[in-house]
Structure 1
Amino acid sequence: MAHSFRPSVCIDAVLGELPVDEAVHLVSDAGIRAFEFWGWWDKDLEEIRVARDRFQMQISACCTKFVSLVDPSTRAQYLDGLRESIAAAQSLECRTLISQVGDARPGVSREEQHQCLVDGLKEAAALLDGSGVTLVIEPLNELVDHAGYYLIRSDEAFEIVRKVDHPSVKVVFDIYHQQISEGNVITNLTRDIDLIGHFHAAGNPGRHELTVGELNYRAIFDAIAKTSYDGFVGLEYWPIGDPVSGLAEVARWFES
């Protein structure tokens, strides 16, 4: 099935040992026209812009500066970092900022932390208004990779975004993380597709290529293609085979 959404490659994960120019070149050679990365503040943004333009690529996403959103004492610092991150994203013509939310606070009810997230994101939404940038919050798994993290399940992430009720605040649905946290990924992602601003994908177990493990990514991508979603799915994994061959195989899925 032809796909209206597109693949992107997280160069920090898939090609993290390589210089930016070489990594973007390899993504281009694999037949993928977009890339993303984690922090913008520890990179040479001009180098990224030059590589983007040289290989006629698009930057699909990067991360916002991060401090906890479930702790009201750090909210002002989070918002200051978001202001900087919006400016950086605009300078890169990048339309999506990815945000984690922080570890759960011991001794504080989930209800209080949930409300703190909603309140913080409502303040963030005011900064995003008119910026052309969407902020996406990321549920992670606590069983394998992120013990102690607050936001584990997609249903709570969707509930938070509904309460914020702003078109520039959505969810990044990481299929690898949600397979571990909750399973049932096709139903869970298609049911709330309008609240998803970005996807991440990796094989499970191991967080390797999409063709390794228990997830049938061709079926998952076909299910997404039947929805209204027209953004990116970021390939965020650590390859065990030749990186370019693995990327090229996924690129071919989007051509068929």
Structure 2
Amino acid sequence: MHIKRTKLSPSLCIDAVFGNLSFDQACQATAHANISTIEFWSWWDKDLTALQVAVERYDLSISCCCTKFISLVNAEQRSAYLQALSDSIAVAKRLKIKTIISQVGDFIEGVPRAQQKQSLIDGLTAAALLLEAADMTLVVEPLNERIDHPGYYLIKSAEAFNIIKQVSSPKVKVLFDIYHQQISEGNIINNIRENIDYIGHFHAAGHPGRHELQRGEINYPEIFSAIKQTNFSGYIGLEYWPLTDNTIEPLQEVVSWLK
């Protein structure tokens, strides 16, 4: 039986991998690693003109950036979230970005979880109207609470997928961070295969330590092979803290895994 295998596209998070470099240096290094797409976290504290110049100089594109970190589980903050998302959409249009990353906020002590979940669903449903009008996709990110994000609301991928199904918009999906989900639950390949239609973006880092993909317990070549067998056409975001001064060779090896 012939198994379809699709080449995967890398997207390098310059804030993580090249956070100590200028935009020009980061974009040059990205191109040297045979990667043609970058992503970054916050847009509101960056010189976006300088970023655009560097991206164009090295013939790169930008896959995604974050919207402001305003709680979706707190209904009282919904209008502020939607205004910030509108601002992020405007920036994304300027930078030719098609995907925006969103966190959901911390669990609110004393408020029933079901109530917070409903606020999250309602907020994303309202956001979907903005996203559909702009032809952009929002990817909602579960995070691990064990190491990096204690107190965060959305931990397990099953709840994230359930929420996305209830929002029921092709423009609202899950950011499946393999590093976070390995810590939170494991069962990475099966969870990806069973829910690939609801995944809009991936993040990848080694565990433990959140370093190069070659380090730690996660078998990335096998995971990427499984993703290739799906119809996924988005990006694999490389979001980690390098341990080695030679950042290029590990990136080039990861690119070879994605082919």
Residues in 2 aligned to 1:185 and 1:2: alpha-carbon distance in whole angstroms? 18
Q: Does 1:254 align with 2:245?
A: no
- Tell me how far 1:110 sits from its aligned partner: 1.1
Q: Is the contact made by 2:157 and 2:181 (CA closer than 8 Å) also made in structure 1?
A: yes
1:177-207, Cα deviation, whole Å (9 max, x unpaired): 0000000000011110000000000000000
Aligned positions of 1:36-185 closer than 5 A: 36-185=39-188
Matched with 1:194 is 197
Q: Is the contact made by 1:90 and 1:133 (CA closer than 8 Å) also made in structure 2?
A: no
- Tell me how far 1:3 sits from its aligned partner: 3.8
1:98-152, Cα deviation, whole Å (9 max, x unpaired): 0000000001111111111000000101111131210010000000000000000
Q: Does 1:27 align with 2:30?
A: yes
Q: Is the contact made by 2:5 and 2:229 (CA closer than 8 Å) also made in structure 1?
A: no
In the alignment, structure 1 segments of 5+ residues that lack a partner are none
Residues in 2 aligned to 1:110 and 1:68: alpha-carbon distance in whole angstroms? 14
- Tell me how far 1:48 sits from its aligned partner: 1.4
Q: Does 1:217 align with 2:255?
A: no
- Tell me how far 1:4 sits from its aligned partner: 2.9
Report the 3-state secondary structure (helix = DSSP H, G, I; strand = E; otherwise coil) of the residue aligned with 2:202.
Answer: strand
Residues in 2 aligned to 1:101 and 1:129: alpha-carbon distance in whole angstroms? 20
How large is the Cα RMSD of the aligned pairs?
1.0
Alignment length (residue pairs): 255
Report the 3-state secondary structure (helix = DSSP H, G, I; strand = E; otherwise coil) of the residue aligned with 1:170.
Answer: strand
Report the 3-state secondary structure (helix = DSSP H, G, I; strand = E; otherwise coil) of the residue aligned with 1:23.
Answer: helix
Q: Is the contact made by 1:68 and 1:101 (CA closer than 8 Å) also made in structure 2?
A: yes
* 2:247 aligned residue (216, 239, 243): 243
- Tell me how far 1:243 sits from its aligned partner: 1.2
Residues in 1 aligned to 2:67 and 2:77: alpha-carbon distance in whole angstroms? 15
Residues in 1 aligned to 2:19 and 2:181: alpha-carbon distance in whole angstroms? 24
Residues in 2 aligned to 1:2 and 1:157: alpha-carbon distance in whole angstroms? 26
- Tell me how far 1:2 sits from its aligned partner: 5.8
Residues in 1 aligned to 2:253 and 2:5: alpha-carbon distance in whole angstroms? 15
TM-score (norm. length: structure 2): 0.96
Residues in 1 aligned to 2:256 and 2:196: alpha-carbon distance in whole angstroms? 24
Report the 3-state secondary structure (helix = DSSP H, G, I; strand = E; otherwise coil) of the residue aligned with 2:65.
Answer: strand
Residues in 1 aligned to 2:241 and 2:249: alpha-carbon distance in whole angstroms? 13
